Structure 1
Amino acid sequence: MSLSVKVDFDAFYRDTSRRLMRYAYGLTGDPGEAQDLVQEAYARAWQRWRKVSGYEDPEAWLRLIVNRLSTDRWRRVFVRRSHAAAQQPAAFVPPPSEDVVLLVRAMRTLPPAHRQALALHYLLDRSIAEIAEETGATISTVKSWLFRGRAGLAAALGLDDPEGVRRVR
């Protein structure tokens, strides 16, 4: 697009964006959703600016786009709600055991690399070589992460034997 077309669009945007944002907010009642609608409307206007700029009232075209996007949003929300209402309630899931809560709390004390290595190895049964490949680390580094991670878990759980952590599955 030529510079004059860009300047025309920029001026149009500056002159209309606040009004369009207020309009979108009035339709949705949600400032984040309103911003998304306005952004999408201006993106569409920019793609078709040569044609849109020739309209008698380009701002009215933008309002039409925002209105349609908002209607589509409400339609999707209604469909999701109807679908959810037709579904059986989810089965009861018991709360985590005290051991799980303590383990998760202990895992949070570890550095991210140690936590990731432990989770990949013990929860997803990945080999040390697979962990090294996935993380981009060397095999010796992964071994170090696992050793230090087990030691950190043992300390956080108050265990004397870091190897005892290895046996807990």
Structure 2
Amino acid sequence: MEFDDFYRDTARRLARYAYGLTGDPGEAQDLVQEAYARAWQRWRRVSAYEDPEAWLRLVVNRLSADRWRRIFVRRARAEAEPPPAPVDPPSENLVLLVRAMRELPDAQRRALALHYLLDRSIAEIAVETGAAQGTVKSWLSRGRSALAAALGDTIVPEGARRAR
């Protein structure tokens, strides 16, 4: 029997079987793919077995058991560790800035993020975006102007409280 024929004849059954073991269609698909990859690597030997499909099911069983074992080990390790320290909420200024950035056109938002958050030069941004340097300068200028207009006097100096 050829591997292609074997695959066509058994793939749906094995996928149902793996789904029954995992309860997760994505995980089942990964297990089946790995089982067939292993069968393909050993096809001369596997094809000589009395029931090659049983060999595949055995591989899926073992892969599934390994998956559950890894999940339990990770869970036990996570339970043994202390909880992470609480994280301060974002500042009011950050929330306002993110809201204003969302209103910008994609090109301006990307240019501002590359320039101010990743310290990319205008030339580097031009290369990454495939735009001319003059276009990048325009994006940055228009983006800063749009942010200034959107934020106006809403930015609160650090340590100061806004009157409500």
Q: Which TM-score band applies after superposition, normalised by the shorter structure? A: 0.7 to 0.9
Runs of 4 or more above 6 Å deviation: none
* Structure 1 unaligned residues grouped into runs of 5+: none
TM-score w.r.t. length of structure 1? 0.80
Counterpart for residue 25 of structure 2? 31
Residue deviations 1:57-101, cap 9 Å, x none?
Answer: 100110111111111111211221122112221111122122211
Please report how far the alpha carbon of residue 33 of structure 1 lies from its aligned counterpart in structure 2 after TM superposition: 0.6
Deviation per CA, 1:88-122: give whole Å up to 9, x if none: 21111122122211211211122222112111222
Q: Secondary structure at the match of 1:137?
A: coil
Give the Cα separation in 2 of the matches to 1:62 and 1:115: 50
> Aligned pairs, how many?
154
In the alignment, what sits opposite 1:86? 80
Letter in 2 for 1:75: R
Cα separation, 2, equivalents of 1:87 and 1:132? 45
What's the C-alpha RMSD, in Å, of the aligned pairs? Answer: 2.1
The structure in which a higher percent of residues are helix is 1
Higher relative contact order (CA 8 A, sep 6+): 2
Aligned to 1:98: 92
Q: Which residue of 2 aligns with 1:77?
A: 71
SS class of match (1:24): helix
The alignment's TM-score, normalised by the length of structure 2, stands at: 0.82
1:131 to 120, 125, 139: 125
Return the offset for 1:124: 2.8
Q: Do residues 15 (structure 1) and 9 (structure 2) align?
A: yes
Listed one character per residue, the Cα deviations across residues 1-60 of structure 1 (whole Å, up to 9, x for unaligned) are xxxx6xx22222222222211221121121111111111111221222222111111001
The one-letter code of the counterpart of 1:73 is: R
Distance of 2:29 and 2:23 partners within structure 1: 11
What SS does the corresponding residue of 1:125 show, helix, strand or coil? coil
